[in-house]
């Protein structure tokens, strides 16, 4: 009879959480056994060897989906394909970083030829940075304009690295909403002072912050989760809604940066390509402030905002 090892001992030996072990089992990568007189999961030597392979592949940032492909295919063709693509991706990033380093060094040489103690040169640097940011073709500066154009191409490619996301299910909850407003009305109108005066009505949905923000047709709305006993008499003049919740892919963006939000959504869509989920266009992208602590904002430079992209299963995955 093969020796069976307790999940706790496996967790300690491989420095992996019991939750992660259960996840690998749910994904069909490893299996466990149970004995009649022992309630916890047990693993045999074959599954420990499989676990070692999983941990190595994850260290190489190989996706769970690709690991499933590797384990579900006999022979070495799939693992060689996956690792070959990883090498190509690394080579491309190294090449781009090397070229970016050269461009930055060239900018340093140009800056060294100027005196940024002068107000005019400081203003010039700001103007050139804005031109680069706006991707204006006729950038007027001392140097090769093709360098700026290539910088935009290189940084765009590097910026397209897909971030890690996580899938969460937001539960149904009651909320008070500001209703759709222009951003000037939303951040400079009456809802902000009203919200601050009525904090006792709110409760967290996730983490320690109860608020969500979504946009539609050029406007935006706050959604604040409220306690069960709150009525519309308490929230007047703002309405109470029943938020349906649902599945979301979560990635980190930054406070108030619309360009960043668009990039994060694009990257989230790219990340979802490796899953059986797609963006659910029938629901709205939402922002959620993880931290509203002023000390954190002061130390970090800005509030962190999680972007919640609504998702649903691909139709083909339902067959």
Name the pTM for this structure: 0.54
Distance CA 226, CA 230 (A): 7
> Tokens representing 137?
């073709």
| pLDDT of amino acid 155 | 63
* % of the chain exceeding 90 in pLDDT: 25
Average the pLDDT over each of 4-8, 166-170, 252-256, 311-315 and give the range with the smallest value.
252-256
| pLDDT of amino acid 133 | 47
Helix axes 7-14, 18-26, angle to 10 degrees: 110
Q: What is the pLDDT of residues 75-104, one digit of tens each?
A: 889 999 999 998 988 888 788 778 878 777
pLDDT at 227 > cutoff 90: yes
166-318: CATH topology is: Multidrug-efflux Transporter 1 Regulator Bmrr; Chain A (3.20.80)
User: What totals of helices (H) and strands (E) does the chain contain, helices first?
Assistant: 12, 12
Structural domain boundaries in the chain: 5-71, 79-159, 166-318
Q: What is the pLDDT of residues 104-133, one digit of tens each?
A: 777 777 777 766 666 666 666 556 555 544
pLDDT at 230 > cutoff 90: yes
| Band of pLDDT at residue 3, cut at 50, 70 and 90 | confident
5-71: CATH topology is: Multidrug-efflux Transporter Regulator; Chain: A; Domain 2 (1.10.1660)
Q: Judging by beta carbons within 10 Å of its beta carbon (0-12, 13-18, 19+), is residue 236 exposed, middle or buried?
A: exposed
């Amino acid at each position: 009879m093969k020796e069976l090892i307790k999940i706790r001992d496996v967790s300690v030996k491989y420095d992996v959480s019991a939750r992660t072990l259960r996840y690998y089992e749910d994904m069909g990568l490893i299996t466990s056994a149970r004995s009649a007189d022992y309630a916890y999961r047990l693993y045999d030597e074959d599954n420990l060897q499989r676990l070692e392979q999983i941990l190595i592949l994850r260290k190489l940032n190989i996706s769970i989906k690709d690991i499933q492909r590797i384990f579900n295919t006999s022979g070495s063709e799939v693992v060689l394909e996956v690792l070959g693509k990883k090498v190509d991706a690394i080579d491309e990033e190294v090449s781009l970083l090397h070229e970016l380093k050269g461009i930055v060094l060239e900018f340093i040489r140009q800056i060294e030829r100027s005196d940024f103690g002068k107000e005019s040169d400081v203003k010039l640097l700001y103007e050139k940075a804005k031109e680069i940011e706006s991707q204006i073709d006729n950038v007027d500066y001392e140097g090769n304009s093709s360098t700026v154009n290539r910088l935009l191409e290189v940084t765009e490619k590097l910026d397209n690295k897909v971030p890690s996301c996580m899938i969460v299910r937001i539960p149904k909850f009651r909320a008070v909403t500001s209703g759709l407003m222009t951003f000037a009305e939303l951040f400079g109108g009456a809802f902000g002072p009203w919200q601050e005066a009525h904090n006792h009505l709110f409760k967290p949905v996730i983490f320690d912050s109860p608020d969500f923000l979504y946009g539609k047709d050029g406007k935006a709305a706050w959604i604040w989760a409220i306690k069960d006993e709150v009525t519309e008499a308490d929230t007047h003049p703002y309405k109470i809604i029943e938020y349906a919740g649902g599945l979301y892919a979560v990635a980190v963006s930054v406070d108030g940066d619309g360009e960043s939000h668009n990039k994060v959504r694009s990257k989230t869509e790219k990340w979802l390509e490796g899953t059986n989920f797609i963006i659910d266009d029938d629901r709205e992208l939402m922002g959620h402030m993880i931290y509203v602590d002023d000390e954190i904002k002061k130390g970090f430079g800005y509030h962190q905002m999680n972007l919640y992209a609504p998702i649903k299963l691909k139709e083909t995955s339902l067959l």
